[in-house]
Chains A and B, each alone.
Chain A
C-alpha cells in the first residue's frame, strides 16, 4: 500500500484521469444530444429552388424541430446551390440541403395521377385516359455533408427530412383523394378533419424496481469509466510486480516463510482497496462534481449491496488480470504497452464506449467474452434497470471465475517459469 501511495503519478492516473474522463464524456454526450434538442447550434444551409409548398414545408420542419438553425443566405446574398456546396466543401458548414426546382409540382402531379389511377380502378373518371399517362421522374433533394459528419448524425438528419416529406405527401394524397372524389361524386361530403394520427410513440424504460432512474449521460458514463479505471490498475500493478522482480525484493520474499499464493493475495488485498477507493471517488464525482458542470447528478439505484458486490468482483477481475500480465511480462515496457493496449481493446470490445448493439454481429459475439462487458452489463443492471443482487449474479459469477482463472494462471506460470530458475 505504501509503495502505491508513494507513486504519485500512478495514483493520479488511477483517480484523476477517470474523473476527468467522466466529466468530459458526460459533458460531450449530455450537451451533444441536448444541442440537437434544445439549442439550435447546428447550422444547415438550405437552398430552396422549389419556391413552393414542399420546399417551404421541409424548411419549416427544420426550423420547427428546434435542433437546427436554417441558413438561407450568405453574406447578405440568397443562397445558391453552388455557394452551399462550396461552403460545405471548405468546411465552413457541416450540412447543405438543396430542394430542386419543380419538386412540389412533380409531387403534386404524381400524387394526382396515382389517385386518378386508383379511382379509375373503381370506375370513377376515365380509365382509358389516366392509364395511358406515365408518372414523372422522381426529383432528388440533395443533402451535402462535410466528411467529418458522423454516420448516426447523418442518418438522424436524413430521417428528419424524410419524415417531413412523407407527412406532407400523406396530407397531399388525402387532400387530392377528397378533391378527386368530390369532382366525380358531387354528393360527396369530405370529412372536416383531414387525418388523425393513429400511433403515438411513448418512451418507457422497463426496470426491475419501481424507482426513478433517469437515463442520461451521467448514469452511463460513471459506471463505464469506473470499470475502465479499475482495469487500468493493471499499469501500476504490473510495474510494481516487475520492479519487485528486477529490484530483488521478490528474490528476498521467495526466501521468506510465506507461500507465493499468500504474497499474491496480499497484492490482491491492497489493490482491491485501491479499486474500492476508485469506485467511491467516481461515484462521488458523479454525485458531487458533475452537477457543478450542469450535468445530471448520479442516482445510485436502490441496491447498494448489489453495487458493492459488483464493485468487488470487477475489482477482483481487474487485479487478477494485472497480476497475470505482471507475472508473464518480462519487462516494464512489455507490461506497460500490453497492459494499456489490452485494457483499451477489452473496453472497446466490451461495449464501454460503443454499445454492443451498434456493433457488427461478429463483434457482438466477441463482446460477450470481454470481462468489461460482464462488468458494464452488471453495473447497468443496477444503475439503469434497478436490478438487485439476483439480476447481477450471472455477471458477478463470470467475473469471479475470471479472477480465479487469472490468479491460477499467475500461480502456474510462476511455478513453471520461475524468473530465478532460468
Chain B
C-alpha cells in the first residue's frame, strides 16, 4: 500500500509582481514521510520559491498545498509548528551569541526554561559548538554560522525540515557534520526537503530528487533510478547538465 504523502502539492503556480514568467508553473508533487527529498535546479529554477510557499512565507498565485493533512491556506499557523526551516542565508543575529540566538528562536517555537536550555546545550555539543556558545555569532566562521543556522531550525523537533542549500560555502568538516546529522534525524522519522547545487551531495543524501527548471519539474525519482534511466551518464551532475543545459543562469 502506498503511504499517504506528508506533502501534497497540486498545480502550484507563483508569479511575482511585475514578472513576465511564473517562478513556478503548475508544479505538482508528492513527498512521502521519512523521505530525504532533493529539489535540484539551476539558479532561478523555482526551488526557493517552492520552499518559501511550503513554509508559509507567502501565498501561491494558484494551486494547493497540503502538509501532514493540513491545508496551507487555512492551517498555516498549525503547519508552522511541525516544520523547521533552515534558510539559504545565515538567518541569525550577529550581535548575539550562538546560545542567545538559539534561545531566542526556541522561545519563538514556544520552548522555555530548562527544556530549552537543555536542548540548546545538547545541539551545541552535537555540532561541536559548545566552546563557542557564548561568543557573538559575528565572530564565528562560515561553517560555525551554518551549523547554528541549522540548529535554529531543529530545536523544536519538527516533523518536516526544509533546508535551502544548507551546506553552501562551508568547509568539508562542517558539511560532513551537517549531512551526517541530517541522515541521523531522518532515521528517527523526520522528513527532509532539501535544495542544493551540489549534485554529488544530493546523490548520496537523497532518497528521491526532483530536477526543476523554469518552474516545472523536468525529472523526478530516486537518484539510482535516474542514473539507470540515463546509462550514458556517470552521475547525477551529468544528468542535471543534460536536462537543464549549459547556459549560465542569473
Contacts and interface: CB of A to CB of B under 8 A. Distances in A.
Contacts, number: 70
Contact of A248 (B17, B55, B89, B108): B89
Interface string A243-258: 0100111011111111
| Chain B contact residues: helix, strand, loop or mixed | loop
Contact of A247 (B85, B92, B110): B92
Interface in B132-169: 136, 152-153
Nearest to B19: A422
Interface stretch (B75-83, B120-128, B213-221): B75-83
B32 interface: no
B96 interface: yes
A418 B57 CA distance: 9
Interface in A226-271: 244, 247-249, 251-259
B181 to A, nearest CB: 19
Contacts of B80: 255-257
B95 A7 contact: yes
Given A247-B91, A249-B91, A420 B108 contact: no
Given A247-B94, A420-B58, A253 B108 contact: yes
> Which bucket holds chain A's interface residue count?
20 to 34
A249 B108 contact: no
A6 interface: yes
Contacts of B153: 252
A247 B104 CA distance: 16
Nearest to A263: B108
Given A254-B56, A255-B55, A248 B87 contact: yes
Interface in A408-422: 418, 420-422
Interface string B33-58: 00000000000000000001001111
A3 B96 contact: yes
A72 to B, nearest CB: 65
B108 A256 contact: yes
B91 A251 contact: yes
Contacts of A248: 87, 89-92
A194 B78 CA distance: 94
Contacts of A187: none
Nearest to A250: B91
B196 to A, nearest CB: 18
Contact of A420 (B17, B52, B77, B152): B52
A406 B52 CA distance: 28
Nearest to B91: A248
A253 B89 CA distance: 13
B179 to A, nearest CB: 21
A59 to B, nearest CB: 66
Contacts of B93: 3, 244, 247, 249
Contacts of B110: 257
Nearest to A252: B91
B152 A252 contact: yes
A2 B94 CA distance: 11
A37 B215 CA distance: 80
Contacts of B136: 6
Interface in A122-148: none
Contact of A257 (B81, B90, B94): B81
Given A7-B95, A249-B91, A259 B77 contact: yes
Given A254-B57, A255-B56, A420-B52, A249 B77 contact: no
Contacts of A418: 57-58
Given A252-B91, A256-B108, A6 B57 contact: no
B85 A3 contact: no
B89 A251 contact: yes
Best-surrounded residue of A244, A253, A254 (most CB of chain B within 10 A):
A254
B100 interface: yes
Contacts of A253: 108
Interface string B84-120: 0101011111111000100011001110000000000
12 contacts: A3-B96, A6-B136, A7-B95, A247-B89, A251-B87, A252-B85, A254-B56, A256-B108, A257-B77, A257-B78, A418-B58, A420-B52
Interface of A: 2-3, 6-7, 244, 247-249, 251-259, 418, 420-422
